[in-house]
Amino acid sequence: MGGLGSTRWAWYNKKTQVEECIKLSISNIKGSLKPRCLTSLTWSQGGEKIANIGLLIQGSGDPEVVWLMYSAFRAGSEEKKYEYPVYLQTTPLPWGGHRYWFSCPLKPRGIICGRRVKDLYLPPGYEIFGCRHCYDLTYRSSQEAHKFDSFHRMMAGVMHDFSPHMTPEDVAYILGDRLKPPPGYSERELMDIKNKFGWEDLDPHSNYLTDKELCERSGLSKNDLKRLEEARLLLPDRPSNLYRPKLLSWAKKLVFLIDEAWSIPEIKAWSKGRWNTNNPRLWPPCREDWKT
């Protein structure tokens, strides 16, 4: 009926967040990527096991395919067992060796996706792991980034009698939903408006991240976060002790380097020295250039 992974494709309309899905990451199994290796993964939520999956790695010489084996229940039906292959792809690393990736096994239009990805997702109510693009998943942070846009536009309209040039971006800054003051008003003028209308008690850090939120969204462990703070590679704002939203992407890069066994001195050397190179935005960086 359309092939593996094509079930219910036309029914999928609502944007699902990746945080709602079971995520299978290549980093979770890279220590087991050996031919004829049998392993398993367990997912928990609130201290309760919600999913378990068996994985069998196969290949002639190097690992080439991961067989996924698990069971699932569908409403009004009995347990159904799943067993299917997910093929692996590799890319060379600048310092030697190679990195493994999953090939997405879904067939959204009868043709296998095959997209090279590091994470596969199983959304609620679905049966086959697939990539974020095929399932059209979004991130919670992306949805939340614009959740107050309509409110900002409405407040800008309300303010027009007092300030005809007030824009939604101005309102966003006054309410603390925007980090930098927009052009057209000075920061002092906007703060005068904020005080005049009794907005001075609103939390200016409403979209900042706690250390727990930063770790959950970036994949950092608390121990690694402490090490990075001690090296002054990832610091919260003072005195709020909260992290600016833009630090999330930086934290994810640091997670990548830590997963690749970079030491903290090497990361620090790269962080400072990359701006003296011809291509400071090169990613991923070559570890051999920054070994201390």
pLDDT per residue as tens digits for the range 208-243: 888 999 999 999 999 999 999 998 899 887 767 888
Judged by average pLDDT, the poorest of 150-159, 231-240, 250-259 is 150-159
What percent of the chain lies above the pLDDT cut of 70?
69
> Could you tell me the pTM of the whole model?
0.46
pLDDT at 87: 93
What sign does the dihedral 124-133-127-119 (CA atoms) show?
Answer: negative
pLDDT at 274: 84
Q: What's the rounded mean pLDDT across residues 173-180?
A: 58
Give pLDDT tens digits for 33-55.
777 788 878 776 555 666 788 88
pLDDT at 59: 82
